[in-house]
Amino acid sequence: MKIKITKFQTAFTMFLAVFISLAGLSSSVRADVVTDWNAIAVQATITGARPGPSGVIDVAMVHGAVYDAIQAIEGKYEPYYVDIPGASGSSVAAAAKAAHDVLVSRFPAQSAAIGVSFQNYLLAQGIPADDPGIAVGALAAAGIIAVRSCDGSFPNPVPPPFIGGTGIGVWRPTAPANSPMSPGPWLGAVTPFTLTRPSQFRSQPPPELNSRQYARDYNEVKSMGALNNSERSPEQTDQAHFWAGNFGVMLNKLVRDMSDEHVDNIADSSRLFALTSMAQADAIITVWNDKAHYVFWRPVTAIQNGDLDGNHRTAGDPAWTSLIASPPYPDHSSGANGITSATMSTLKNFFRRDRMDFSVTTTNVGPTNEDTREFRRFSDAAEEVVDARIYLGIHFRFADEASRTLGIKVADWGYRNYMRAAHRHGYGDHFVAPFENK
């Protein structure tokens, strides 16, 4: 049987070859199987087969399986979903196999490239093909695949395009592409990973159009987010462009960096990635549930129709445009702030501190004068994204702040209720997460 290799498969295989060789040669960075396969999963999904917000669901599935595979052998934390008694073998082999099987299940057209990457990875790690850990990884993946099989993340049939409405305050497609909502409202109905339902942490509604709060936030984005004649400083424009990158790629790289620098074992690393990736996915699901529920217009539509909103404090400007084009979905709440807040809050919970030095690297290279920004607190980065999306002209402050609160709630819920330290019955041992006694 002939296998057709697509352009994506060729590029993906080349990426893996370079990635594995660099991982094997690097001595300045402490990588592990979890960070390695996070990079592979992000390349295969968010930057490959399914770019955009919905790709975080695929990455979360990978890390759910990787976590359960590793904990089955290491036994340091409670399983997320799949409990495998008597598991043995290499934890590295188990994790790699779990990640491989989830990715192949989600994207069967890429199975050849992903299979090559798996075999090359085992070879690079010196793991024999009959290691028992491989069977453990297969079981962990099978359980995650089964429980997520009807989660709505690949809607079938695909719903018709959603274009909102033309009423005052209602979202509708925006220039220049005038695209329908993408991803559509279906994303807000996907089964969460840790929450009880997609609307569990629904944001407070946008302010009334005739309110002082609406006028305040309207006039802020009108003056600070305009493409022309803006009141932004050059530094604020740089900040805006920096945070106009691919958040899934940027934030996963941050988690890899934090794990490489601060986590010294794969049991803790797998927990860190499972918690962060599931918080990211649940935050995006919750945000899209908000968007589908409120269907609130973007600033560009609001300002161009400002004389029709019934608020005497908002002067309309039919020629107003934002610094960048609005993404094709409603304003309230903010996806960028939801995923950022969920990530930063999970990191804060995991490391048991807000104060840590770290850096974030943008994918939006070119428009900004800085590719990397340094931070001293997780909360500082989350707060900066609130302002950045206003400077871009694509969100009202109330949407950004609501989503930041949403992300904190999602992260806290997952951390409190899932993947907690394991108790070894009969021995009295209690495993404590990193930094919990510091």
Based on the fold, state whether residues 211 and 293 are members of the same structural domain: yes
Give pLDDT, residue 413.
98
pLDDT band, very low/low/confident/very high, at 28 (cuts 50, 70, 90)? very low
Based on the fold, state whether residues 323 and 384 are members of the same structural domain: yes
The CATH number of residue 120's host domain is 1.20.144.10
The DSSP string of 76-126 is: SB--SS---TT--S-HHHHHHHHHHHHHHHH-GGGHHHHHHHHHHHHHHHT
Render pLDDT for 300-346 as a digit per residue (tens, 0 to 9).
999 999 999 999 999 999 999 999 999 999 999 999 999 999 999 99
CA dist., res. 185 & res. 163, Å (int): 10
- For residue 183, is the peptide bond before it cis, meaning its omega torsion is within 30 degrees of 0? yes
Does 295 have pLDDT greater than 60? yes
pLDDT band, very low/low/confident/very high, at 437 (cuts 50, 70, 90)? very low
Give pLDDT, residue 16.
54
Render pLDDT for 116-146 as a digit per residue (tens, 0 to 9).
999 999 999 999 999 999 999 999 999 999 9
In a domain, 257, yes or no: yes
Indicate the pTM of the whole model: 0.92
pLDDT band, very low/low/confident/very high, at 402 (cuts 50, 70, 90)? very high
Render pLDDT for 40-80 as a digit per residue (tens, 0 to 9).
999 999 998 888 899 999 999 999 999 999 999 999 999 99
In a domain, 180, yes or no: no
Based on the fold, state whether residues 335 and 219 are members of the same structural domain: yes
In a domain, 305, yes or no: yes
In a domain, 171, yes or no: no
Name the domain count of the chain: 2
Based on the fold, state whether residues 125 and 213 are members of the same structural domain: no
Mean pLDDT of 246-265: 97
User: Per the structure block, which two tokens stand in for 62?
Assistant: 């990978």
Give pLDDT, residue 250.
98
Based on the fold, state whether residues 241 and 387 are members of the same structural domain: yes
The CATH number of residue 207's host domain is 1.10.606.10
pLDDT band, very low/low/confident/very high, at 189 (cuts 50, 70, 90)? very high
In a domain, 427, yes or no: no
User: Per the structure block, which two tokens stand in for 100?
Assistant: 């491989």
Place of tokens 């934030």: 251
Render pLDDT for 80-111 as a digit per residue (tens, 0 to 9).
999 999 999 999 999 999 999 999 999 999 99
Based on the fold, state whether residues 252 and 384 are members of the same structural domain: yes
Does 425 have pLDDT greater than 70? no
CA dist., res. 195 & res. 420, Å (int): 16
User: Per the structure block, which two tokens stand in for 260?
Assistant: 């490489």
- Spatial neighbors of 71 by CB under 8 A, at least 6 apart, are 77, 78, 79, 267, 270, 271, 422
Instruction: State how far the alpha carbon of 392 is from the alpha carbons of 225, 263, 280, 307, 345, in Å.
Output: 5, 35, 22, 22, 24
Domain range for 143 = 7-153
Based on the fold, state whether residues 200 and 328 are members of the same structural domain: yes
The residue type of 28 is S
